[in-house]
Structure 1
Amino acid sequence: MRSATSLAPWQVSTGGIAGLILSIGLARFAYTPLLPLMQQQAGLGDAMGGTLAAINYAGYMSGALLAALIDDPRWRSRLYFWGMLLGLVATALMPIAPQSAPHLALWAISRYLGGLSGAAGMLLGSGLVLGFLMRAGRRPELGVHFLGLGLGIVVSALGAMAMDRLALDWAGHWWGFVLVGLPLLAITWWWRPPVPPPAAAALAAGAPSPRWMRWMIAGYFCAGWGFVISATFTVAIVERQPLLHGQGPWAWLLVGLAATPAVFLWDRVARRTGDLNALLTAFALQIVSVVLPALSGSLAAALTGALLYGATFIGLVSLTLALVGRRSPGNPGKAMARLTLSYGVAQVTAPALAGAMAQASGSYLASLWLTAAVLTAGMLIMWRLRGLERRGEV
């Protein structure tokens, strides 16, 4: 039996990062660069492509609710590793479908299980890793753990590009990601955090005002809408441009490269300007990332948009959760869970609507403008929150 001192902090951090790459990068994000290929070769339509993404986020919300109900640290640890195993299973289910026609039921099951895995990596894994670091006397740097999100995008993009060079079909791409996931699962298992001790005394009381919290939940919904549209359709949007065919994976790679250091950068911005000003800036830049490909079909617009999107979506998540956690010292987990559900509602509704709009119109242009409008609403909400703070209504 391992003791808490048998693993170095860097090993536990690496194991957590590997878990995020597996549960988010493969079980969720591999679908993004492979969506155009599945549309070409497997008969997957725009509407069903968006619906499958929505099913993935329904799985994520289910996992978030389950994680919020589990208090026993032993069960949290077990469910974390089971979630990682589920991510590999979800990835393997995709290519099992018959090659002659879409196998929507199996794909839907895969996407739902992939969502459960993502919740395990993001919620259970993050808590276990950060808890271990605190018990080890290390200041838990949230940014280090969330490097796994950006790296997961990089792995999914580079993997798709490498398998394109091997001329693999859509199913071969998925099997390739299964092979990539095997060593990640092993690292996650061997360097998993030890079971934490029972919870200590309750934290000090304190919570933001209900009014402030309602506005923040609404703003986080807008952030979730902006995240999921680009996360699901970035590659497909680029591939639809006649002059950009074949360049989609490069745009997705840029998203990952920009996202990897973004948490550190936004933390520095927040320290200098304040949390809400940093959130305002992140929303504004994400609006630009959505509007650029809507205004221009050039490669420069597509790649600049991808770069800005990657640099902002993780910042919106980390800044918001950190702010609400600090404002809710009595029970930060409950406050974060409410935000996660708001974010999740956007993740379920947005891709399904965007896919249906794209199928009806033949392009993603209307979806991009709708997303820009939702993000603008989020920016206005941050202005409202800043006004409440100035009047002391927090």
Structure 2
Amino acid sequence: MLRALSLTMAVLVTAGCAVAGNEGGGDTGTGGTGPITFATGRDTTAYLQPLLDRWNQAHPAEKVTLLELPEAADEQRAQMVANLQARSTRYDVLGLDVVWTAEFAENGWIIPLERGFFPLDRFLPPVVETAVYKDKLWAVPYTSNAGLLYYRTDLVKKPPRTWAELREQAQEVTKKHAIGGYGGQFLAYEGLTVNFSEAVQSAGSQVVSPDGTKVTLDVAKAGTALDFLRQGLREGWIPTESLSYKEEESRLAFQEGRLAFARNWPHAYGPARAELGGKVGVTMLPGLDGPGSSTLGGANLAVSASSKHQQTAQEFIRYFTGLDNQRRVLTEGSFPPVWTELYDDPELTRRFPYLPVLKQSILAAKPRPVSANYNQLSLVIASSVSKALSPPYTESARDVAASVKSELEEILRTQ
């Protein structure tokens, strides 16, 4: 009874906030209960449906239906935005990339949530911040993420800590074993923005301030980061085909034995171990002078402002982000959980030996800018860096970095 009363009060609070921030919207039935849909990126590990089935068995009048969106984040966002701009009631719960929170909140597409209804104090602190915009909670963290360096333990004696060590080892492996040295996500999309941002951070700079209000890109350091990637492509230890890699292509290239090193998210660990067994090692991304810095990734769950069943949607989010399901997110989906205590669980660390490294990487990771214009910022970076990584390299890396900085500053001036 107390729990039901708590949620009712939370919904009434969020209803008022949603109406205030969404003038002109139709009757969305803010406190409604009933069947809901969960729109999220394609489930490549088939772990989601069993979790949904557990909810459906316990809530026959409030069943949830999975709506799988494309695998690529850019395409997921495009479909969600088209739906939300039309004020469609098709989506109830939204699986958002952590960088979309500000944009979706600013546009009134999602509703603010009551902090006290969710156990946020038991989540990793940096992860919670990805769900906050203008001091309000707009979503609930569901998975976290940080980039990791995967390597072949049968080909590499000691994992690299610096770019110089990565280059030396990748060149050696390429020469001895006739396979690619290193690959990341270098196609012109959000993944390239992430890879470039990590390189810039690992060189000692940051693209934009955490609050998204100022471009902080150091042109010299960004040029050094871009030159490192260019050097790998020119020298051949970064294979040219990696310019077409997204997450899945780079994951397959590594687990199929075509790469000795690969930058990817933690979800790639399970399939790689299944294919390569004990030949898979994981470490922090290398940097210019020591361990580098990852970009903080992950997914948050939000409630559509057009949903007719927002009370059920919030109850479902609370269920889906609970401790038991967070354990299953890791054990069955190979995605990093958001509950801090799971990273120190002896049983889990035996099964997933990369957890201590991952926790360290998440706590040291840099968030992407909290900006309603993040998509514009990302498009500029991905487009410019993609051109800069492709021959004939007519423009210096430093000039590319200066141009990127100028374009980003223009976007922030007009926001």
- Using the size of structure 1 for normalisation, the TM-score is 0.30
- Structure number with the higher strand fraction is 2
Larger CA Rg, structure 1 vs 2: 2
Q: Which has the higher helix share?
A: 1
